[in-house]
Structure 1
Amino acid sequence: MLEYLESQSFDSILTELLERVPDDIDKREGSVIYDALAPTALKIAETYWDMAVLYRRTFAATADGDDLEKRVNEHGVERKKAGKAIRRALFSDGDGQPLDVAIDSQFKLDAIVYKVSERIEAGEYKVEALTAGSVGNKDYGEMLPIEANDKLGKAILADVLVPGEDEETDESLYYKFIDHIREKTFGGNRADYKKKLMAIQGVGGVRLRRAPFGGGTVKAIIIDSDFNVPTTDFVSYVQELMDPLEFKGEGYGTAPIGHEVTVEGVRKNEITVESELVLNGSTIGQIEAQVIGTLEEYFAELRANWFKDFDINVRITHIESRLLKIEGIEDIASTLLNGLDKNINLIEDIPVLSNVTLREVST
């Protein structure tokens, strides 16, 4: 249907209209009949185009933006909104001693402002990024106060407690909708657990394991929204929401009563890459940064697919095919992963690039 609608162009419609006119009438461009039919053909073509657009907007598989959101909302599926990062911040006075600061006071690092939201202990607070999204997870270091504070020596923005999260993409929303249709959520089944965990800000993926510690137990392994190993604090936060440790199985979290849930963070597997390169018009020093960036991008793509619950395979052929696209690399003599000439298969872990060693060899 869509293919037909999109095939109805001005030229094809005009040709069809002119074919209906007797051949003894002048139908050449500029003739009376041609000039009379051309505006009609244009209007019909525009109508077909509008119909094609409406057709695409009607179905979840081809809709995007607000249209996709409205379509999936009919089935109770919501787009995950952008969330603000919650970070740990350390405050000290001019002598380096812990300093208490006012709740709601604000501090800035680069372009992001963080508001003090909760006291943890002397000189240690939770701060919330005022800008929603993953941008609040990125920077570390010394912040500057928005308002003058004579007692302040240093304000240090430390680790991420709850990762900030960008608004869910159309692609992610569509696949969530498909999962919702295919796997009905009900009373603590697998789909129900996945839906509840993925709704938590900062959770980027989850794998579920049945009865790891006996009947009635569930293990949820999570990755953060940046597709990295979640912090211990964030794992504890998710555990508290799902099934608080002090009331395991009592139903005080979102897990059904009688289900003892253990939340764990995905583990990382550090991988070293060694490559012998045949170079053309470049040196190791000139291409090293680009090689590392290319490898980091490849590993990030693998981590982003961890939630699919398939093994992750770090493949030498994939690495080499990407490196060969870098200008200045003519050929690759060998590539080793963790010192071995073999791919690495990861069942539960995610790959993290640990070290890169590059050597130039001659042909």
Structure 2
Amino acid sequence: MLDYLEAQTFEKLLADLLERVSDDVDKREGSIIYDALAPTALKLAEMYWDMAILYRRTFAATADGIDLEKCVNEFGVERKKAGKAIRRAIFIGRDEQPLQVALNSLYRLDDLVYRVMENIAPGEFKVEAQMAGAVGNRDYGELLPVEANNKLGKAILTDVIVPGEDEESDESLYQKYLEHIRDKAFGGNRAEYRKKVRAIQGVGGVRLRRAPHGGGSVKVIIIDSDFNAPTPAFIAYVQEIIDPLEYTGDGYGTAPIGHKVTIEGVGEVGITIECELVLNGATIGQIEVQAIEILETYFSELRANWYKDLDINVRITHVESRLLEIEGVEDIISTRLNGVENNINLIEEIPIIAKIVLKEGGT
């Protein structure tokens, strides 16, 4: 249907209308008949174009933005909203002792402001980014008070407790909708666990393992919304929501009563990449930054697919094909991953780049 609607162009419609007129009448451009039918064909083409747009907006497979949200909302699926990062901050007074600062006071790191929200230990507080999104996860360092604090010696922004995340993309929302339609969430089945855990702010993906500690036990392995291994603080946060340790199996979290749930973070495997390159008109120093960015992107794409419960393969051919996109890289003599010229297969873990070694070789 969509193809038909999009095929109704001005030229096609005008030709169809002119064909209905007898050939013994002048139908050339500029004739009375042509000039009478052309505006009609134009309006018809606009109508068909509007119908094609409406058709796309009607179905989840072709809709986007607010139209996609309306389609999937009818089935109880909602877009995951952007969330603010919650971080740990350490406050030290001028006397080098832990400093207790006022709740709701504001501190700045570059362009991002954090609000003090909860005291967790002497001189240690939970702080919340005032801008929603993953941007709140990234920077570390010294905070500056928005309002003067004469007792403050130093304030340091450290661990991510609950990762901030950007608003869910259309692609992710559509995939969640398909999962909802195909795998009905009910009574503590896999679909329900995935739905509830992935709905938690900061969770980017879930894998489930049945009965790791005997009947009634469930292992939930998570990756954070930046597709990295979650921090211990975040794992504890998710554990508290799903099945609090002090009441495990009693149904005080979102897990069904009788289910003893263990939350774990995905493991990481560091990979050293060594490449011997043939360069043309460039030096290692000139291409190194771009090579690091390209390979980091490749590894990020691999980590983003971890939640699909499939093995992750770090492939030498993919590493080389991406490096060959860099201007100045003419050929690649050899590539080693962790010292060997073989791909690396990961079953449960995610890959991170431990080191990149680029060397220039001969022709």
Sequence identity percentage = 71
C-alpha distance in 2 between matches for 1:228 and 1:96: 34
In the alignment, structure 1 residue 282 sits paired with structure 2 residue 282: yes
Partner of 2:153: 153
In the alignment, structure 1 residue 168 sits paired with structure 2 residue 147: no
Gaps of 5+ in 2: none
In the alignment, structure 1 residue 91 sits paired with structure 2 residue 115: no
Deviation at 1:280, TM superposition (A): 0.7
Partner of 1:179: 179
Structure 1 segments of 4+ aligned residues over 3 angstroms from their partners: none
Give per-residue Cα distances to partners, 1:264-286, cap 9 Å, x unaligned: 00010000000111111111111
TM-score, normalization: structure 1? Answer: 0.99
Give per-residue Cα distances to partners, 1:70-115, cap 9 Å, x unaligned: 0100000010000000000000111321100000000011111100
Deviation at 1:290, TM superposition (A): 1.2
Give per-residue Cα distances to partners, 1:296-319, cap 9 Å, x unaligned: 111011001101110000000010
C-alpha distance in 2 between matches for 1:240 and 1:60: 34
Partner of 2:317: 317
Partner of 1:47: 47
C-alpha distance in 2 between matches for 1:40 and 1:119: 71
**Amino acid in the other structure paired with 2:312:** I
Give per-residue Cα distances to partners, 1:328-354, cap 9 Å, x unaligned: 111100000000110000000000000
Give per-residue Cα distances to partners, 1:103-142, cap 9 Å, x unaligned: 0000011111100000011110000011100011111101
C-alpha distance in 2 between matches for 1:95 and 1:7: 76
- Secondary structure in 1 aligned to 2:84? coil
Deviation at 1:293, TM superposition (A): 1.1
- Secondary structure in 2 aligned to 1:261? strand
In the alignment, structure 1 residue 133 sits paired with structure 2 residue 133: yes
C-alpha distance in 2 between matches for 1:286 and 1:205: 36
**Amino acid in the other structure paired with 1:249:** G
- Secondary structure in 2 aligned to 1:290? helix
Partner of 2:78: 78
Deviation at 1:233, TM superposition (A): 0.3
Partner of 2:300: 300
Alignment: residue pair count: 363
Deviation at 1:63, TM superposition (A): 0.2
C-alpha distance in 1 between matches for 2:162 and 2:95: 30
**Amino acid in the other structure paired with 1:344:** I
Partner of 2:33: 33
C-alpha distance in 2 between matches for 1:358 and 1:37: 67
**Amino acid in the other structure paired with 1:189:** N
C-alpha distance in 2 between matches for 1:288 and 1:62: 40
C-alpha distance in 2 between matches for 1:130 and 1:139: 14
Partner of 2:205: 205
Gaps of 5+ in 1: none
C-alpha distance in 1 between matches for 2:206 and 2:118: 28
